[in-house]
Amino acid sequence: MWSFGNGFGGFTHAVKKNLERPCDSDFPSKPRKFIPFWADGLNKSSLTPSFKRISKQGLIYKKGEDKKTYSVANSASEIAVSDNSFVPRPTRSTYVPPHLRNRQASDAPNLPGPATERPGFSRTPGGSQGSRWSGGAPKPELGRLGPGYAYGGAAVGRGGGSSGWHNRSRSWDRREREVNPFDDDIDDKNNDGEQAFSEQENTGINFDAYEDIPVETSGENVPPPVNTFAEIDLGELLNQNIRRCKYVKPTPIQRHAIPIALAGRDLMACAQTGSGKTAAFCFPIISGIMREQYVQRPRVARTVYPLALILSPTRELSCQIHDEARKFSYQTGVKVVVAYGGAPINQQLRELDRGVDILVATPGRLVDLLERARLSLQMIRYLALDEADRMLDMGFEPQIRKIVEQMDMPNRGVRQTMLFSATFPREIQRLASDFLSNYIFLAVGRVGSSTDLIVQRVEFVHESDKRSHLMDLLHAQKENGAHGKQALTLVFVETKKGADSLEHWLCLNGFPATTIHGDRTQQERELALRSFKTGKTPILVATDVAARGLDIPHVAHVVNFDLPNDIDDYVHRIGRTGRAGKSGLATAFFNEGNMSLARPLSELMQEANQEVPAWLTRFASRAPYGGNKNRRSGAGRFGGRDFRRESSFGKNLDYYGGGNSGSAYGVPSNYGGGYAPGVTSAWD
């Protein structure tokens, strides 16, 4: 299901240089801060940098029921998987996590949006010159789609000519992007093998349990959450897609984030992948774009002007987001394009040329496109960073800064910026605030993966024993497994070389394994993922490229063959299991090389009510700095809590009657001062 439709059509052609590249004057060397007309008067107060006094408000905090909540969320994905194999759907409302939302029957109606009369969405019917489409062509589909949210021309090919996406489907004889994205099976995606998992249990969803997920917000004038999609003014076409996704009720992150985003506010949000995070930023973006009456986009030869930019740290994640966004935007006329490296650029260029409203991209390819002047960020109104803490981590931060601050993207406060991640270290929050304006901080309790559903084990394994130990685990697992089949096991290692070597060794020893890491070609990466997902090679050896965001259903076991140095990475890694309503297992091989992780790991496990081996507790107590992970390696590691509360002005203020001074994982921390011990955090 990893669709690299943009990529592997032809490897043969070399990248053709764009000879008609606009002159440099189109791309000033100095950052040009363009304030488009539409931004005038928008979000005025937020034009001043943040760090205003943060009022304490908006706290919705409930304890208990979290475990139930998690299992509920996960059960939903179980259902969705079952759907794929025509297992009867439960009558209860089903939350289907993003990665499974393309499994629906292929009968999504082809209906135009009945134009509800809402002023915000109304637009002058009739094709008009100077439309929002880069081609500036009329929108012939308007009549057909109705005057409501229907923005006909999904993309107008360069060189004018009117063509809505219906037309395009006909005029382009290849499969179009706008084929029904809800039909994976007839699309260009390969679903075979997923049926193998059809016989999963089928649980009803208790959405009421969602109410108990702890949520923390801070910032000025936080818009109140909503309880239903109906309360939100998203537009009928988008609502239809939400229904097609069987997405009946908003998840907690959506309940809170969507109103915030619709209010035009900047947002820093902590929420686990799989909790509906992608939808949480896609819905407001799509809705906002539909809402726009006319956006005159400049016409510069071969340069396209997306209105929204979504960045993610890995190519696979970008694809995943693109796939989801396409579903949400189906028939809305909002065009989503993905651009990432490792695949031939030409097809991506072609897609861009056909028009783009929302661009999903990895940083490198994006910069490439910008430098080719095939793309301009002048018209960006929405910027979303997925896995934002990773994006602003050391390796990525300069690139992101370049894209956001040194190209032609509108300033913060002019554009709307939304940052999402499951973890938000304090130091990264500080960095991130450069990109945000008077933002709202939002933390939603983990939904669906990190700890409660996952049994975490730590074993002391010397470096030299790791392989045989892994072998033991795999053998045991195979014997216990159903039908003698090897359960999907994701093995994380430290290095790319180590990944190849371990894969080779596993294969030699009769365990079908494959590997994914950054030294493999994109094609190999995609193949490896698919092979893993379908169970063909039920063991996947991976570097951290697979640690974040990827929704791989049915991973039964995550083995930290090499532990990461960063507890955040550990959290992201083990979050690959415990999905789909199953209890996941996470095993870590710990040895003398991992001492820096002793304390944070032991704290994390305690917090998650895991059994902590006595030896680990001993190591933890000996760890430097008292072992608080928020101080380790010089980098403060707070997350799950607005750092603004702790730094300049938040100090010693006890907003919540204590608690939550720790990390994103709800680890009660003895650092941070003054908070009552034992109080559960928002991430409990």
Partner DNA sequence: AAAAAAG
The sign of the torsion formed by the CA atoms of 657, 662, 667, 673 equals negative
Say if strands 215-218 and 440-444 run parallel, antiparallel, or are unpaired: antiparallel
Nearer to DNA among residue 542 and residue 586 (C-beta): 542
Q: Which stretch binds DNA (CB under 7 A): 17-25, 100-108, 361-369, 377-385?
A: 361-369
Contact residue for DNA among 315, 326, 533, 557 (CB under 7 A):
315
Q: Does 367 bind DNA (CB under 7 A)?
A: yes
Q: Which stretch binds DNA (CB under 7 A): 63-71, 223-231, 355-363, 527-535?
A: 355-363
Residues 395-454 that bind DNA (CB under 7 A): 395-396, 399
What is the identity of the amino acid at 199?
E
Count of positions on this chain that bind DNA (CB under 7 A): 37
Report how far residue 657's alpha carbon sits from residue 666's, in angstroms, rounded to the nearest whole number: 15
Contact residue for DNA among 46, 314, 429, 537 (CB under 7 A):
314
Nearest approach in angstroms of CB 401 to DNA is: 12
Residue 55: which residues within 8 A CB-CB, separation 6 or more?
218, 219, 220
The tokens of 638 are what? Answer: 């707070």
Residues 559-578 that bind DNA (CB under 7 A): 565
Residues 9-48 that bind DNA (CB under 7 A): 15
The tokens of 13 are what? Answer: 């052609």
Contact residue for DNA among 341, 575, 627, 668 (CB under 7 A):
341
Nearest approach in angstroms of CB 234 to DNA is: 31
Residue 305: which residues within 8 A CB-CB, separation 6 or more?
134, 297, 298, 375, 376, 378, 379
Residues 65-84 that bind DNA (CB under 7 A): none
Report how far residue 639's alpha carbon sits from residue 38's, in angstroms, rounded to the nearest whole number: 34
Contact residue for DNA among 232, 345, 550, 580 (CB under 7 A):
345
Nearer to DNA among residue 143 and residue 364 (C-beta): 364
Nearest approach in angstroms of CB 531 to DNA is: 17
Report how far residue 516's alpha carbon sits from residue 497's, in angstroms, rounded to the nearest whole number: 11
Q: Which stretch binds DNA (CB under 7 A): 32-40, 155-163, 209-217, 494-502?
A: 494-502
Nearer to DNA among residue 399 and residue 509 (C-beta): 399
Report how far residue 339's alpha carbon sits from residue 186's, in angstroms, rounded to the nearest whole number: 23
DSSP secondary structure letters along 359-421: EEE-HHHHHHHHHTTSB--TT--EEEETTHHHHTSTTTHHHHHIIIIISSPPPBTTBEEEEEE
Nearest approach in angstroms of CB 587 to DNA is: 20
Q: Does 363 bind DNA (CB under 7 A)?
A: yes
Q: What is residue 60's DSSP assignment?
A: B
Residue 226 contacts residue 232 (beta carbons within 8 Å): yes
Nearest approach in angstroms of CB 207 to DNA is: 35
Longest dimension (CA), the chain: 73
The tokens of 194 are what? Answer: 């997923």
- Count Cβ atoms below 10 Å from residue 676 Cβ, excluding itself: 12
- Residue 24 has phi, psi (to 5 degrees) of -65, -20
Q: Does 486 bind DNA (CB under 7 A)?
A: no
Contact residue for DNA among 74, 218, 320, 362 (CB under 7 A):
362
Nearest approach in angstroms of CB 606 to DNA is: 25
Strand order in the sheet with 416-421: 215-218, 440-444, 267-270, 416-421, 382-385, 308-311, 358-361, 336-339
Nearer to DNA among residue 539 and residue 547 (C-beta): 547
Q: Does 340 bind DNA (CB under 7 A)?
A: yes
Nearer to DNA among residue 290 and residue 377 (C-beta): 377
Closest CA to 217 of 639, 641, 638: 641
Residue 625 contacts residue 494 (beta carbons within 8 Å): no
Give CA angle at 505 (500, 510), nearest 5°: 125
Taking the CA atoms of residue 131, residue 133, residue 137 and residue 142 in that order, the dihedral angle to the nearest 10 degrees is -70
Q: Which stretch binds DNA (CB under 7 A): 128-136, 163-171, 359-367, 428-436?
A: 359-367
Q: Does 543 bind DNA (CB under 7 A)?
A: yes
Binding to DNA by CB under 7 A, coded x per residue (else -) over 168-207, reads: ----------------------------------------
Give CA angle at 533 (529, 534), nearest 5°: 120
Q: Which stretch binds DNA (CB under 7 A): 219-227, 232-240, 482-490, 516-524?
A: 516-524
Nearer to DNA among residue 372 and residue 446 (C-beta): 372
Nearest approach in angstroms of CB 557 to DNA is: 21
Nearer to DNA among residue 478 and residue 496 (C-beta): 496
Q: What is the Rg, in whole angstroms, of the alpha carbon atoms belonging to the chain? A: 24
Contact residue for DNA among 33, 63, 350, 497 (CB under 7 A):
497
Q: Does 494 bind DNA (CB under 7 A)?
A: yes
Nearest approach in angstroms of CB 383 to DNA is: 17
Q: Which stretch binds DNA (CB under 7 A): 218-226, 258-266, 291-299, 491-499?
A: 491-499
Q: Which stretch binds DNA (CB under 7 A): 192-200, 257-265, 311-319, 620-628?
A: 311-319
Report how far residue 160's alpha carbon sits from residue 145's, in angstroms, rounded to the nearest whole number: 21
Nearest approach in angstroms of CB 312 to DNA is: 8
Nearer to DNA among residue 526 and residue 646 (C-beta): 526
- For 60-209, strand residue ranges (E) read none
Q: Does 524 bind DNA (CB under 7 A)?
A: no
Nearest approach in angstroms of CB 11 to DNA is: 11
Say if strands 267-270 and 454-460 run parallel, antiparallel, or are unpaired: unpaired
Q: Does 306 bind DNA (CB under 7 A)?
A: no
Residues 607-666 that bind DNA (CB under 7 A): 633
Q: Please give the residue ranges that form the binding site for DNA (CB under 7 A).
A: 15, 313-316, 340-343, 345, 361-368, 371, 393-396, 399, 494-498, 517-519, 543-545, 565, 633
